[in-house]
Amino acid sequence: MSEPLSTRGEAQTDRGPTPPSLPAPPRYLGARVATWTIVLLPLAYGVYQTIRKALALFA
Amino acid sequence: MPVPAFLQRSRTVATATYDRWLVPPAALAVHLCIGQVYGLSVFKLPLTRLQGLDHSAPTDWSQPQVQWMYSLALCMLGAAAALFGRWVERVGPRCTMFAAALCFCGGLATTALGVHLHSLWLVYLGYGGLGGVGLGLGYISPVSTLIKWFPDRPGMATGMAIMGFGGGAMIGSNASVWLMDQFRTASDQGVVATLLTLAVVYFGLMLFGAFTVRVPPEGFAPRGFVATAAAQRTPIRVGVDRAWRTPQFWLLWVVLCCNVTAGIGILEQASPMAQEIFAGRVSAGAAAGFVGMLSLANLLGRFLWSSASDRLGRKMTYSIYFLLGAALYATLPSLGRGQHVGAFVLVAVVVISMYGGGFATIPAYLRDLFGPFQVGAIHGRLLTAWSVAALVGPSIVNWMRENRIRAGLRGVEAYDTTLYVMAALLLVGLVCNLLVRPVHPRHHHREEPT
């Protein structure tokens, strides 16, 4: 008899012992920093402007 | 149509040592751009004053006419995601992101031309048509890839990308306002130059995503990751053509539709609702700040709730959205009557965080039910629920509010029925969620013998 499948993500698929965050191989470290910076900078700009306006308006 | 060599899927297969954490920024880059659609409202006023400049001239477009750009774009998003899902799975994320960049940015440029020529149809065709196709392609382009790179944390991975869609509104609206200020002259609102600038910048950022994204090599599994015995014995592999004939697909369709409609119930009316319920205490400016807080909650909810679903399980997470959401919706009228502004804002923030979470968790839910095989295409078809909710939701909400106001009700009384109906809708979503069962193995895809 097969095990019942579950709609719980971890039960069905796939959760074995999840490792702690994997260290990036050193040759990709610079690329990781660069790519995340490119996307997080504009996001930070949008969030900052939104918070600034929200605070100014509530003040 | 043949795909150019540099866009082919085979060119995007990563090496065994590739760092999978480079893939989420690629997805995020695309979603940050297409999320601009949620910030489109900042163009509303300038587009209705293109000829009158400081007022709307008789020949200027009306606000409802301009509003159609947004509705058309969201409709086209769902249609494109549903129609092109299989193509997206076949050609891979790079080609899809490239096509999304061409369509979305081409749509912005066409809209600029429409504004320049003052042709409303060209604007509809550009933003609603071409741009909408770009939205649909861009939205589903990274889903399947992220799920394959992060089998251990699919909720977190797709949540990160879909969070970008919420963040895109904040970037798009603030940047557009700033650009229009720079380009505005005594005889020009600066809309055309702003749209063209956005098109160029977004095109660059979307290409960055397209050329950064990689698909995992065959048999990839993160270090230390072991599939459970059940998953190894009967891997789930349901194709899009089978998936949408299963009850599970339609149950999730209703789940998403209810979640989106209920969220729109607050988002659509947040500003007037806050001002009317707390008349004399909440100014128009403070109400705009309230809307900004809801946008932030929407953004954070996408990431936090979908990440939590990796631990809680998808069914449990949606049950929380619906049960807690319904309870909170039902308390809003009482908080309004009691004039508890702080508690009202806090409850609305939690509700909207779950609205965002509902969007971001659905790809991982689909992966759990149908497997990663064609999850991007299945997600694309499910997004038609969003299109329906985006059209039907605001219409229902506005109609109910107008009826209450016509009946002479004011303040919280004008909104309480709407809020109770939204709570009831969430309970419908809860029932559908509880009815979801694993997909029967007869629907699993089998390889044809060669």
Tens of pLDDT, residue by residue over B366-395, are 999 999 888 999 999 999 999 888 888 778
Least Cα separation, residue A31 to chain B (angstroms): 7
Q: What pLDDT was estimated at residue A1?
A: 38
- CB spacing of A28 vs B18 below 8 angstroms: yes
Phi-psi region of B255 (alpha: psi -120 to 50; beta: other; left: phi over 0): alpha
What is the ipTM for the molecules in this complex?
Answer: 0.86
Phi and psi at B427, nearest 5°, equal -70, -35
CA dist., res. B96 & res. B257, Å (int): 26
Please report how many Cα atoms fall inside a 13 Å half-sphere around the Cα of residue B389, on the Cβ side. Answer: 25
Phi-psi region of B339 (alpha: psi -120 to 50; beta: other; left: phi over 0): left
With beta carbons less than 8 A apart as the criterion, state whether B114 and B346 touch. no
Q: Which residues of B touch A47 (CB under 8 A)?
A: 167, 170, 296, 299
Q: Which residues of B touch A49 (CB under 8 A)?
A: 170, 174
Q: Does B301 touch chain A (CB under 8 A)?
A: no
Residue type, B210: A
Instruction: Tell me: pLDDT of B350 over 90.
Output: yes
- CB spacing of A16 vs B227 below 8 angstroms: yes
Q: Does A53 touch chain B (CB under 8 A)?
A: yes
CA dist., res. B302 & res. B296, Å (int): 10
Q: Which residues of B touch A51 (CB under 8 A)?
A: 292, 296
Average model confidence (pLDDT) for chain B?
90
Q: Does A33 touch chain B (CB under 8 A)?
A: no
Q: What pLDDT was estimated at residue B231?
A: 60
Q: What pLDDT was estimated at residue B227?
A: 67
Q: What pLDDT was estimated at residue A58?
A: 66
- Least CB–CB distance from B170: residue in A32, A35, A49: A49
Q: Does B437 touch chain A (CB under 8 A)?
A: yes
Q: Does B255 touch chain A (CB under 8 A)?
A: no
- Least CB–CB distance from A14: residue in B151, B436, B437: B151
Q: Does A49 touch chain B (CB under 8 A)?
A: yes
Tens of pLDDT, residues B199-257: 999 999 999 999 999 999 988 888 777 766 556 555 788 888 899 899 999 999 999 99
Q: Which residue has the tokens 């097969």?
A: A2
Tens of pLDDT, residues B3-46: 888 898 889 999 888 899 999 999 999 999 999 998 888 898 89
Angle at which helix A26-58 crosses helix B23-34, to 10 degrees, equals 30
Reported as type and span, the H/E element at residue B126 is: none
Confidence of residue B73 (pLDDT cuts 50, 70, 90): very high
Token pair recorded at residue A51 = 């918070």
- CB spacing of B174 vs A50 below 8 angstroms: yes
Residue type, B174: N
Burial class for B373, CB neighbours closer than 10 Å (0-12, 13-18, 19+) = buried
| Virtual torsion, Cα B141, B146, B147, B152, nearest 10 deg | -170
Q: What pLDDT was estimated at residue B56?
A: 85
State the CB neighbour count (10 A cutoff) for residue A17.
Answer: 8
- CB spacing of A39 vs B25 below 8 angstroms: yes
With beta carbons less than 8 A apart as the criterion, state whether B50 and B252 touch. no
Instruction: Tell me: pLDDT of A40 over 90.
Output: yes
